[in-house]
Amino acid sequence: MTADVSYGRLDDDDYPAYTMGRAAEMIGTTQSFLRAIGEARLITPLRSAGGHRRYSRYQLRIAARARELVDQGTPIEAACRIIVLEDQLEEAQRINAEYRRAAEAVEAVEAVEAANPPAAA
């Protein structure tokens, strides 16, 4: 991969730009914590050609949330489940909002059609 191609991915939240050591440093945790949430399948880091774990910014946000919950006394398995449920809830709310907007658009069209019935032939 050329420098130009890599540079274009700096804004990509899913690009695995961070090594395990750097990722742990960035979120203030240990490498063993990152391995533990990987084993719990909360995040699955990509692997470099040499087999080293690489993390994306999105994965680091998830790991930081897990660290926050664990620091509050939540067992790691429970923290991982909480994060999965929070993610599912957020997705369900996003879908509901889309359905709500679509229903409102249909109601608006029906209101316009009811206010302006077609002329009888």
Which tokens hold the place of 98? 């889309």
Beta-ladder partners of 54 = 19, 46
pLDDT digits (tens, 9 = 90+) for 56-108: 999 999 999 999 999 999 999 999 999 999 999 999 999 999 999 999 999 99
For residue 108, the Cα-to-chain-centroid distance in whole angstroms is: 33
Q: Is pTM, for the whole model, over 0.95?
A: no
Beta strands 53-55 and 18-19, pairing class: antiparallel
Amino acid occupying residue 78:
A
pLDDT digits (tens, 9 = 90+) for 14-46: 888 899 999 999 999 999 999 999 999 999 999
Q: How confident is the model at residue 10 (pLDDT cuts 50, 70, 90)?
A: low
